[in-house]
Structure 1
Amino acid sequence: MTDPNSLSVRDLAEAIRSGTLRAPEVTAATLDRIARVNPALNAIVQDCSSDALAEAEALDARIRAGDQPGALAGVPVTIKVIADQTGYATTNGTTLARDLIATSDSPFLRHMRAEGAIVVGRTNCPAFSYRWFSSNAQHGTTVNPHNAALTPGGSSGGAGSATAAGLGHIAHGTDIAGSIRYPAYACGVQGLRPTPGRVPAFNQSGGDRPIGPQLMAVAGPLARRVDDLRLGLAAMSGYAPEDPLSTPAPLSGPALPRRVALVRRPGGIEPDPRILADLDRAADLLRRDGWQVEEPDSLPDLREAFDLQIDLWLADGHAEKLAAAQLEGDAGALALLNFYADRAARWDSAALSHALLRRSGLIRAWRAFLADTPLVLMPVCAELPFRQDEDLDGPEAIARLWQAQLPQVAIPLLGLPALAVSSGVENGIPSGVQLVAPPWREDHALDAGEVLERGFGIPQVVDPA
């Protein structure tokens, strides 16, 4: 049988719909690879093999009966353990929630299943999804398949590792501060943070989220190909009554000016020389494709957006977050929350009001900028992927790592979609660049991302280093 990983999502689904490949065979091949490769990675931490095989057999029977399944017909996908999936624990990487069994699917997953996707496993994250590293007491540590000394990223580190290792074509991730984009960057794959409201998400098992996550957290896809992201986004998206922000916005819009702002040092950070070289390579690829790339004289503020995002996520409700982390006893969660404890102590209703007012002003400024130049090319991170568990080295390390992540952390507050595109792997170290587009214009970022992918190369499936 053709190796499923040799095919794009589009080609794989078409082969299954046409009968050239059968869903049970594709699912079995993927599960076989998971059984061989995942023990070295611990990317998938909840086994869905029995359900996956049964779903693939049912899909195959429908196809043979003449039904036409959707765009993800028989495509193997993974789901992060932060999301409800019927019959599985929504642990969010904690022992506290190990028995929190979902009785329904999160709406994005319901949409993916309606398009024929087959869930082959559930992927790891750090406890409470707080860190840039994916390790916890409930599921253990996830390894970067390119280099075990490096983090696979967080919080969707299991998703990034699984995608790079060919343990599913599309991985679900979540992103409130870079948790899709950073694992994609660290694992050498592609990752898309959609516009808030694009992909509906709600966990019946956990109920409603605080104000910061409601405004800034999104679900979205990771994949090895940009076009796979496009199909994954389409399958996840759509209106769902459970999510108050869900919006049935069109997936594409009128052609936008092909003008790009190249921003090498957003917020005053100083990227690694290799990252600066990647940005220059990306700019050259876009120019050769007819895009107009210029370095702007000024840019709306990102550093204030970075600071406000941290407050709305970590300072708001800090005491409850800290109490839960203490009960869990997770070193990484405690290190982060203790680092921001003094800042959180100054957080009150006046600070919340100020943050929401300033957020409106920053969003307005960025939308005005993107109206004229509707794509920004900038780093994903100022540093190459961090050393595994580097945030446990003390407060100075946490401060440095979070400052390096400013290009990712600032974007959620602004309500903008952003795409991490792999620029390749050198000496076992992945890198990449980030594209930021206007709200609801993921299609524009994906179009540019495909240009970069053609130049950088499609990430290849990797076996653990």
Structure 2
Amino acid sequence: MSESQGPLWSWRATDLSEGILSGSISCEEVAESCLARIEAVNPQVNAIVDMIPAGEVMAAARRADSDIRRGLSLGPLHGIPVTVKINVDMKGRATTNGVPAFSGLFAEEDSASVANLRRAGAIILGRTNVPAFSTRYFTDNELYGRTVNPWSAHITPGGSSGGAAVAVATGMGAIAHANDRAGSIRYPAYCCGVYGLRPTPGRLPSYNATAKEERSITAQLFSVQGPMARSAEDLRLGMDALGARDPRDPWWVPVEEPKVPTPLRVAMMPVVAGMNVLPEVSAAVRRAGRCLADAGFVVEELAAPRIGDAAELYFSLLATEANTTPLSPIAQFGGEAARKAREGTLAYRPPLRGQAAYMSALATRTAFIREISLFLEGFPLVLMPVSCRPPASVDSDQQGVDSVRELLDAQHPLVSISLLGLPSLVAPVGIVEGVPAGVQLISARFCEANCLAAGKALEVGIPPAFPPADLPLGV
């Protein structure tokens, strides 16, 4: 490996790790390269909104180099530059979640994710932007402003991990921490043409001490932490680092990962019953299917059960919980854009009537999971759309109820997998008319290895494209 591979900021995390451990590059050199990249491009895209002072970053890099010289035990991300989403606690810094009212909410301890990144030896460069309360598919807020998709300023970078996706896409850190409830890792990965992994709930611990109360039951069931990166292999590094046990999360599960079956059978779903998948999206799924078949996977086009129904159930549960809180924090502190988006979302699906209906819906979810689990016994991998449409135009959730309905209809492939509690990997499959295209890979609970194996094959067969070093492109 050498600088002829390109500047260090453009290297994959796996290559950086190999170079650091072999001594061909230093942690200090890597940090310097990434800081220079941030200085060059972040003012154009506004992905990192809370920079760690350069002096602190370089001091951490020098310590990392010293640890290598002293022969100390090293973590899986030793010396690797990363970013952290600003909706998780980092000791001594404000967990704003993009909300001006939370500018003084300083964390007294690290979240589970930040603590695990530190233990893994990662060097945290900064914290990435989100929509207010991390609730929109668009990354913009009154505190930090808008994050710009480096492929085109006219399309969303996704949300709520839009800042994380843009940081990775433009080389401002090799791995980005993110989180996902309704697609907040997967949709930004799709919009920005990078790799994103939503692990099985419970695989990666989650905890914020600044939270005023425990999360709702659907948030506990559906929300996960996860990595974003410029390669599928880097997702594995990120997942392993973020997944270490944290006793503050009672949902965390110790996992003995099943082996990837050979050959791996794939159910390809270019269209999904009950969803209006556009032809260009279906074409991307078929292109990925051909790539996997060429790589030795057994690919058949057929439908997995309950995926369409799962999306409807997700929104019913969401609407029911939202209606139990007459004055939500979003209504109090969210700002006009967040409030308008919430109004459109609440109008999208009526709440369930009464406690019995809500309990029945949760029971139905179990039946859905059982059916898809049985299907995945025969076809351990499902290849399907990320969204029914290409990335949305900026602020299309601010244009009335009908526009929000169209947006949420398109996101059914995302939320269905959230409800089913399955791991999912989004992989880019090229650029179509200047906009990233991508697919979603689904497997059984705790079988992330299946998704990662297919993601790696797609990376080889359809190499990812990234915005050029000399931004802007479409900005």
Shorter chain as denominator, the TM-score bin is: over 0.9
- The AA in structure 2 aligned to 1:147 is S
Over aligned residues, Cα RMSD in angstroms? 1.8
Corresponding residue for residue 95 of structure 2? 90
- The AA in structure 1 aligned to 2:472 is P
Structure 2 residue 36 is the aligned partner of structure 1 residue 32: yes
Distance 1:144 1:321, change over 3 A: farther
Counterpart of 1:96 in 2: which secondary structure?
helix
User: Which is worse superposed, 376-385 or 299-308?
Assistant: 299-308
Corresponding residue for residue 349 of structure 1? 355
- The AA in structure 1 aligned to 2:398 is L
Corresponding residue for residue 49 of structure 2? 45
Q: Is the 8 A contact 1:224 1:459 kept in 2?
A: no
User: Which is worse superposed, 34-43 or 1-10?
Assistant: 1-10
Counterpart of 1:316 in 2: which secondary structure?
helix
Corresponding residue for residue 391 of structure 2? 385
User: Which is worse superposed, 437-446 or 98-107?
Assistant: 98-107
Q: Is the 8 A contact 1:78 1:171 kept in 2?
A: yes
Q: Report the alpha carbon displacement of residue 10 of structure 1 after superposing the two structures with TM.
A: 1.6
Q: Is the 8 A contact 2:319 2:351 kept in 1?
A: no
Q: Report the alpha carbon displacement of residue 212 of structure 1 after superposing the two structures with TM.
A: 0.7
Q: Counterparts of 2:326 and 2:112 in 1: how far apart (Å)? A: 26
Structure 2 residue 330 is the aligned partner of structure 1 residue 325: yes
- Which residue of 307, 310, 314 corresponds with 1:309? 314
- Which residue of 363, 382, 386 corresponds with 1:376? 382
Q: Is the 8 A contact 1:238 1:249 kept in 2?
A: no
Structure 2 residue 205 is the aligned partner of structure 1 residue 200: yes
Structure 2 residue 64 is the aligned partner of structure 1 residue 59: yes
Q: Which runs of 4+ in 1 moved over 4 A?
A: 342-347
Counterpart of 2:74 in 1: which secondary structure?
coil
- The AA in structure 2 aligned to 1:190 is Y
Corresponding residue for residue 108 of structure 1? 113
Corresponding residue for residue 19 of structure 1? 23
Structure 2 residue 218 is the aligned partner of structure 1 residue 212: yes
Of all paired residues, the percent bearing the same amino acid is: 41
Q: Is the 8 A contact 1:45 1:124 kept in 2?
A: yes
User: Which is worse superposed, 187-196 or 423-432?
Assistant: 423-432
Scaled by the length of structure 1, what TM-score is found? 0.95
**Structure 2, gaps ≥5 residues long:** none
Aligned residues: 464
Q: Counterparts of 1:324 and 1:74 in 2: how far apart (Å)? A: 38
- Which residue of 390, 402, 413 corresponds with 2:408? 402
User: Which is worse superposed, 151-160 or 235-244?
Assistant: 235-244
Corresponding residue for residue 279 of structure 2? 273
Corresponding residue for residue 171 of structure 1? 176
Q: Counterparts of 2:63 and 2:308 in 1: how far apart (Å)? A: 51
Q: Counterparts of 1:251 and 1:368 in 2: how far apart (Å)? A: 18
Q: Counterparts of 1:368 and 1:237 in 2: how far apart (Å)? A: 26
Q: Counterparts of 1:351 and 1:322 in 2: how far apart (Å)? A: 23
Q: Counterparts of 1:321 and 1:187 in 2: how far apart (Å)? A: 36
- The AA in structure 2 aligned to 1:120 is L
Corresponding residue for residue 7 of structure 1? 11
Q: Counterparts of 1:346 and 1:353 in 2: how far apart (Å)? A: 10
Distance 1:278 1:354, change over 3 A: same
Q: Counterparts of 1:350 and 1:190 in 2: how far apart (Å)? A: 40
Q: Is the 8 A contact 1:256 1:444 kept in 2?
A: no
Structure 2 residue 142 is the aligned partner of structure 1 residue 137: yes
**Structure 1, gaps ≥5 residues long:** none
User: Which is worse superposed, 133-142 or 91-100?
Assistant: 91-100
Q: Is the 8 A contact 2:352 2:358 kept in 1?
A: no
Q: Is the 8 A contact 1:331 1:392 kept in 2?
A: no
Q: Is the 8 A contact 2:133 2:334 kept in 1?
A: no
> Which deviations, in whole Å up to 9, do the C-alpha atoms of 1:337-372 show, x marking residues without a partner?
222445565554223212211111111111011111
